[in-house]
Chain A
Amino acid sequence: MAIDPAERLLNLIIALTHARARMTRAQIRASVAGYEPADPTLDPETAARKDAAFERMFERDKDDLRRMGIPLQTVVDPAHGDEIGYRIDPTDAAMAPIDFTPAERAVVGLAAEYWADAAVGADARQALTKLASASGATPAIELPLSGRASTSGDALAALAEARSRRQAVRFEYHAASSGSAVRTVEPWTFRFVHGAQYVIGFDRDRQAQRSFRLNRIAGAVKPFGPEGAYEIPDPLPADDEHETPLQTATVLVRPEAGHALRRRGRYLRTEDGWDVFEVDFRYADALRDQILMLGGAARVLEPHGLAASVEHHARKALEVTDG
């Protein structure tokens, strides 16, 4: 007698979409195919057990509707003893048509592969089904392109879900400088800078706008406090990162080496087997890393602090390996 849960959910969606005003739990249980209606002939103990089973099933179904993105409205009608009723506003829920070219359709198909086995991969596959239903039949083509995530994406999905409900979140965050701490954040938006993913939001503890790199979030991102707890500023405040002044270094590079460094520098002369370049830089650490990565095929002449920092790193490395 029990029908497939997908069939029950479908009937629930149709019933709530067509409900003239709303449906109460009792009406849903009595009339929607897939639920077992209350049976007045049962003994009280069995009836209580069946009631509890219905409540559990209905709560699960509500979670599923929510997960699907269906806006389930709760309607309280004082004329009916304040009992909560439910409905779905069809105009609020419908997926807009979307016309993809075959190549765009193929690109969208890469998204599910991108997350591989991460939980958010299931959400991406759901999204593909929805897009398939909203776009015309497009021939399948194969693109010479593929992508793979180097993070799980679960934090991204949890943050997006909380953001859509305007609900704050809590997570443990490993800041590069200040160690790990639990942060409470109102997520505003996401930024993809090169390959790194950031969430920008309001940090309640610091009482200020902050950005958090997603792969520094440890463990789960958990919703915290009520929904509808904040508004996202529009437009978003600009990042107040102060510009670091530009400096110039003199760098020696072995012939046929340091090709990236050569491209960003100005050639001065060649002496003692080194090509001498002038290189503009804003962040000393980034230039130092670039020199170190060349493993001796480049060295810094000026400024002295940068040259000393390169040497310090190499000496410290030998302490680790020899010590």
Chain B
Amino acid sequence: MAERAVPRVTRLLGIVSFLERNGETSFADLAAQFDVSEDQIRKDIATLWVSGLPGYMPHELLDFDADLYDAGIASLTEGQGVTQVRLSARESVALLGALAAMSATGAAPDVVNSAIAKIKAAVGDEAIATISPARVDTEVVSALHSAIATRSAVTLDYTNARDQRSVRTVEPHRIVTIGDAAYLECWCRKAEDYRTLRIDRIATVTPTGESVEHPPSDEGGFSLAPVYEATVRAERDARRVFEDLPGVEIAVDGDHIVARFGVADEAYVAARLLTVAPHLASVEPAALRAAFAASARSVLASLN
């Protein structure tokens, strides 16, 4: 299917603005700047070349240097005042919303905040007023950033969702944020496999002086693959627990909600369910129900 009109005309305006500002540019560089093929850039320039003011006489059209065009270089000789337009409200919030959400996890590098500041200054709109980052340990976060940057293995003091504490040496690759939480993607030398660890469960980061040896996972992050699908029916007061689960679908049924979500970490989900137990009507499948019951029995056993 042909590219839709709005993305294309936005790029057409952009190419003219870019050339006005940066002077002659090779098709290859324009292709990289706008993330399209060189062939598309060639078509875009051809379209610009025949566009202009009503009348469409030669002096009313945009114009490019023909010799340079044949050499694969865009050189604008007449722009007819064409310029890129500012960000729309939807575009601003799509951009700022994504960056603000990443920043609010508390684990994004400072460059995210400096990009937000520059965009806000250019947009002149304070629509996204405040970002309150989650309370993650800033020492942990900056130690992870510098370990990733220097490709250095680190030893972590890590407590998993079942409250099992371990000391493990990992090769850190990347930080990923999913909704409100930040994770470290790494190769774990103890497990001899790729792991995605929640950053707010890392207590300390100690440099080892050793280098990262394993390449990043091909999975492209987000390797918290669900093991099975769960369905929980609950009173609507329980909603808060479900709405943070990645990929959750919440349907409303009178005074109840029905939440469907993938379970990657059974013990963690079971413990979360415990926090809204008085509001639950049913938990499916049996595997999750068993984990949920086991976690409730451990709580009762501790009281004796």
Query: Do B91 and A124 touch across chains, with their CB atoms under 8 A apart?
Result: yes
Tell me whether A15 and B180 are in contact in the complex, defined as CB-CB below 8 angstroms, given that A124-B95, A133-B14, A313-B275 are known contacts.
no
Query: Do B13 and A13 touch across chains, with their CB atoms under 8 A apart?
Result: yes
How many chain B residues touch the partner (CB < 8 A)? 135
The answer, yes or no, to whether A302 is at the interface (CB within 8 Å) is: no
Among candidates B47, B86, B112, B221, residue contacting A95 with C-beta atoms closer than 8 Å: B86
Query: Do A18 and B175 touch across chains, with their CB atoms under 8 A apart?
Result: no
Does more than half of chain A's interface fall in helix, strand or loop, or is it mixed? helix
The answer, yes or no, to whether B134 is at the interface (CB within 8 Å) is: yes
Distance between Cα atoms of A190 and B162 in the complex (Å): 35
Tell me whether A293 and B84 are in contact in the complex, defined as CB-CB below 8 angstroms, given that A11-B51, A318-B297 are known contacts.
no
Which chain A positions have C-beta within 8 A of B244? 150, 195-196
Closest to B221 in A: A146
The answer, yes or no, to whether A315 is at the interface (CB within 8 Å) is: yes
Among candidates B6, B127, B252, residue contacting A64 with C-beta atoms closer than 8 Å: B6
The answer, yes or no, to whether A191 is at the interface (CB within 8 Å) is: yes
Tell me whether A160 and B93 are in contact in the complex, defined as CB-CB below 8 angstroms, given that A144-B175, A177-B237, A317-B293 are known contacts.
yes
Which chain B positions have C-beta within 8 A of A17? 81-82
The answer, yes or no, to whether B5 is at the interface (CB within 8 Å) is: yes
The answer, yes or no, to whether B231 is at the interface (CB within 8 Å) is: no
Tell me whether A163 and B100 are in contact in the complex, defined as CB-CB below 8 angstroms, given that A127-B91, A129-B7 are known contacts.
no
Which chain B positions have C-beta within 8 A of A9? 5-6, 9
The answer, yes or no, to whether A32 is at the interface (CB within 8 Å) is: yes
The answer, yes or no, to whether B52 is at the interface (CB within 8 Å) is: yes
Among candidates A144, A149, A174, A191, residue contacting B236 with C-beta atoms closer than 8 Å: A174
Within 8 A of B (CB), among A33-83: 33, 64, 66-70
The answer, yes or no, to whether B206 is at the interface (CB within 8 Å) is: no
Query: Do B292 and A196 touch across chains, with their CB atoms under 8 A apart?
Result: no
Distance between Cα atoms of A321 and B282 in the complex (Å): 8
Which chain B positions have C-beta within 8 A of A195? 101, 104-105, 134, 177, 179-181, 244
Closest to B176 in A: A146
Which chain A positions have C-beta within 8 A of B289? 320-321
Query: Do A151 and B179 touch across chains, with their CB atoms under 8 A apart?
Result: yes
The answer, yes or no, to whether B300 is at the interface (CB within 8 Å) is: yes
Query: Do B18 and A194 touch across chains, with their CB atoms under 8 A apart?
Result: no
Within 8 A of A (CB), among B176-223: 176-181, 203, 220-222
The answer, yes or no, to whether B25 is at the interface (CB within 8 Å) is: yes
Query: Do B98 and A147 touch across chains, with their CB atoms under 8 A apart?
Result: yes
Within 8 A of B (CB), among A96-110: 96-101, 103-104, 107-108, 110
Which chain A positions have C-beta within 8 A of B15? 133
Distance between Cα atoms of A137 and B13 in the complex (Å): 16
The answer, yes or no, to whether B67 is at the interface (CB within 8 Å) is: no
Query: Do B12 and A6 touch across chains, with their CB atoms under 8 A apart?
Result: yes
CB distance from B271 to the nearest CB of A (A): 4
Query: Do B274 and A126 touch across chains, with their CB atoms under 8 A apart?
Result: no
The answer, yes or no, to whether A90 is at the interface (CB within 8 Å) is: yes
The answer, yes or no, to whether A216 is at the interface (CB within 8 Å) is: yes
Among candidates B32, B85, B99, residue contacting A68 with C-beta atoms closer than 8 Å: B85
Within 8 A of A (CB), among B222-275: 222, 236-237, 239-240, 243-248, 252, 255, 257, 267, 271-275
Query: Do B100 and A4 touch across chains, with their CB atoms under 8 A apart?
Result: no
How many chain A residues touch the partner (CB < 8 A)? 125
Which chain B positions have C-beta within 8 A of A8? 5
Query: Do B87 and A259 touch across chains, with their CB atoms under 8 A apart?
Result: no
Which chain B positions have C-beta within 8 A of A13? 9, 13, 82
Distance between Cα atoms of A287 and B225 in the complex (Å): 30
Query: Do A150 and B246 touch across chains, with their CB atoms under 8 A apart?
Result: yes
The answer, yes or no, to whether B68 is at the interface (CB within 8 Å) is: no
* Binary A-proximity of B26-61 (CB < 8 A = 1, otherwise 0): 000100111100000000000110111111100000
Which chain A positions have C-beta within 8 A of B281? 320
CB distance from A232 to the nearest CB of B (A): 10
Within 8 A of B (CB), among A117-136: 120-134, 136
Query: Do B159 and A127 touch across chains, with their CB atoms under 8 A apart?
Result: no
Closest to A310 in B: B299
Query: Do B236 and A179 touch across chains, with their CB atoms under 8 A apart?
Result: yes
Closest to A253 in B: B163
* Binary B-proximity of A199-237 (CB < 8 A = 1, otherwise 0): 010000000000001011010000000000000000010
CB distance from B73 to the nearest CB of A (A): 14
Which chain A positions have C-beta within 8 A of B280? 316-317, 320
Tell me whether A130 and B87 are in contact in the complex, defined as CB-CB below 8 angstroms, given that A314-B274, A320-B283, A321-B293 are known contacts.
yes
Query: Do B163 and A257 touch across chains, with their CB atoms under 8 A apart?
Result: yes
Query: Do B274 and A317 touch across chains, with their CB atoms under 8 A apart?
Result: yes
CB distance from A102 to the nearest CB of B (A): 10
Query: Do B127 and A317 touch across chains, with their CB atoms under 8 A apart?
Result: no
Among candidates B134, B222, B271, B299, residue contacting A194 with C-beta atoms closer than 8 Å: B134
Which chain B positions have C-beta within 8 A of A297? 163, 298, 302
Query: Do A314 and B277 touch across chains, with their CB atoms under 8 A apart?
Result: yes
Query: Which 4 pairs of residues, A with B, have the shortest CB-CB distance?
Result: A195-B180, A133-B14, A150-B179, A69-B88
Please list the residues of chain B having a beta carbon within 8 angstroms of any beta carbon in chain A.
2-3, 5-15, 17-18, 21-22, 25, 29, 32-35, 47-48, 50-56, 80-95, 97-106, 108-109, 111-112, 114-115, 118-119, 121-122, 125-134, 148-149, 159, 162-163, 165, 173-181, 203, 220-222, 236-237, 239-240, 243-248, 252, 255, 257, 267, 271-275, 277-278, 280-283, 289-290, 292-293, 295-303
Q: Could you list 17 A-B pairs, sorted by A, with CB under 8 Å? A: A6-B9, A13-B82, A14-B51, A14-B52, A14-B82, A17-B81, A18-B53, A126-B91, A129-B7, A130-B84, A190-B129, A192-B132, A216-B243, A293-B275, A296-B302, A314-B296, A320-B292
